[in-house]
Amino acid sequence: MTNRRKFIKTSAAAGLGLGFGILQKAFAQSAPASNANASVFTDGLVLSTWDAGLPANAAAWKAMQAGGNALDMAEKGVNDTENTLSNLTVGLGGYPDREGHTTLDACIMDSQGNAGSVMFLEHIKNPASVARRVMEKTPHVILVGEGAYQFALAEGFKHDDYVSEESQKAWNEWLKTSQYKPIINVENHDTIGLIAMDMSGDLAGACTTSGMAFKLHGRVGDSPVIGAGLYVDNEIGAATSSGLGEAVIRTCGSFLVVEMMRQGATPQEACEEAVRRIQLKHANYRDFQVGYLAVNKAGEIGAYAIHPGFTYSLLKQGENKVYNSTSLLDK
């Protein structure tokens, strides 16, 4: 694959202006961003949460080299993490809920604005791929629990009884106290949100997790919620999150990040605003972690978290590297 660098000018009209009426009109007409006219990055890139994103980025790139588009990149990238059964927060190896069940959440979005999601799914190795089938083969966006499982089987996915010894051991330890307190940057570590941009400059994303360790049976976090754990708007950019899902859902985090970019914010400014919004709405924001990643059509990156320690992986222009995000509580 040649490492070409080509920038395409987008055609764009004027900015959104201010006021609710105008904003409504903008939504109705899907008006272009005020910062449009920006270049579209067509070298391809992959951006994902945490250090575990590194091999996922590489898998996404491989999918592109095999002829895949942004959607294939997103799916294959996170499949790599789901297939890593030693990962304790993604896939079948993930920590169980309070009843001892590992339940999986995942979603996917393509460059056309299509979306698919599965929630509270058990015994299926690649929930992100099931989410893609929901998107492509049903008139729906979300399937949950037993319905999602039956759909997966009907689509040819195999029932998998894998149980992680390490996860079960951790659960048995947890049962001794049954105390629930998120441990910042530890418990949350590794849930993967991944944004891919292919060489047409098209965007797609996927997010997949076993959710918070020892959650209540039936709990679903932000990761499979379109607009919370992931949002892709091919006209503007994409965003994803990791951390305490409840705080992300309450503030429609990833959608907020993308809409901020639509109104002219850089990816970095947009991530910072979404974290500030959580701060504003949660008196206890110091007690948990949330991190956002964003990318715009020019291939610019944003990353911001509440606490230091949020890392992300970026594959761009031949380099696949882990970076430290800045954070609200950086000193």
Q: What residues act catalytically?
A: 191
Does residue 223 touch ligand SD4 according to CB under 6 A? yes
Rounded distance between C-alpha atoms, residue 106 and residue 206, angstroms? 7
Whether 326 contacts 318, CB under 8 Å: no
* 96 vs 221 by CB, closer to ligand SD4: 221
Does residue 93 touch ligand SD4 according to CB under 6 A? no
DSSP state letters, 108-132: EE-TTS-EEEEEEE-S-S-HHHHHH
Residue 77: which of 191, 202, 206 has the closest Cα? 206
Sequence letter at residue 59: A
Q: Which residues in 130-148 are b (16+ Cβ under 10 Å) and which e? A: bbbbbbeeeeeebbbeeeb
Rounded distance between C-alpha atoms, residue 311 and residue 86, angstroms? 19
**Interacting span for ligand SD4 (CB under 6 A) from 141-149, 215-223, 254-262, 322-330:** 215-223
Cβ-based neighbour number of residue 277 at 10 Å: 18
Rounded distance between C-alpha atoms, residue 130 and residue 156, angstroms? 10
Binding to ligand SD4, residues 164-203 (CB under 6 A): 188, 191
Could you report how far apart the first and last alpha carbons of the chain are, in Å? Answer: 43
* 212 vs 270 by CB, closer to ligand SD4: 212
Handedness of CA 20, 22, 24, 30 (dihedral sign): negative
User: Closest distance between ligand SD4 and the C-beta of residue 255, in Å?
Assistant: 15
Cβ-based neighbour number of residue 273 at 10 Å: 16
Does residue 208 touch ligand SD4 according to CB under 6 A? no
**Interacting span for ligand SD4 (CB under 6 A) from 195-203, 238-246, 300-308, 320-328:** 238-246
- In the list 53, 116, 221, 267, the residue contacting ligand SD4 (rule: CB under 6 A) is 221
Binding to ligand SD4, residues 239-258 (CB under 6 A): 242-245
- In the list 81, 209, 266, 296, the residue contacting ligand SD4 (rule: CB under 6 A) is 209
* 57 vs 209 by CB, closer to ligand SD4: 209
* 181 vs 331 by CB, closer to ligand SD4: 181
**Interacting span for ligand SD4 (CB under 6 A) from 36-44, 161-169, 174-182, 220-228:** 220-228
* 42 vs 164 by CB, closer to ligand SD4: 164
User: Closest distance between ligand SD4 and the C-beta of residue 188, in Å?
Assistant: 4
* 296 vs 311 by CB, closer to ligand SD4: 311
**Strand-pair partners of 323:** 312
Cβ-based neighbour number of residue 175 at 10 Å: 11
What tokens does 308 get?
């230091």
User: Closest distance between ligand SD4 and the C-beta of residue 182, in Å?
Assistant: 9
Binding to ligand SD4, residues 109-138 (CB under 6 A): none
* 89 vs 325 by CB, closer to ligand SD4: 89
- In the list 75, 80, 198, 222, the residue contacting ligand SD4 (rule: CB under 6 A) is 222
DSSP state letters, 260-293: HHHTT--HHHHHHHHHHHHHHH-TTGGGS-EEEE
User: Closest distance between ligand SD4 and the C-beta of residue 92, in Å?
Assistant: 16
- In the list 53, 91, 211, 227, the residue contacting ligand SD4 (rule: CB under 6 A) is 211
What tokens does 258 get?
């993308």
Residues at the site binding ligand SD4, with contacts judged by CB under 6 A: 89, 188, 191, 209, 211-212, 221-223, 242-245
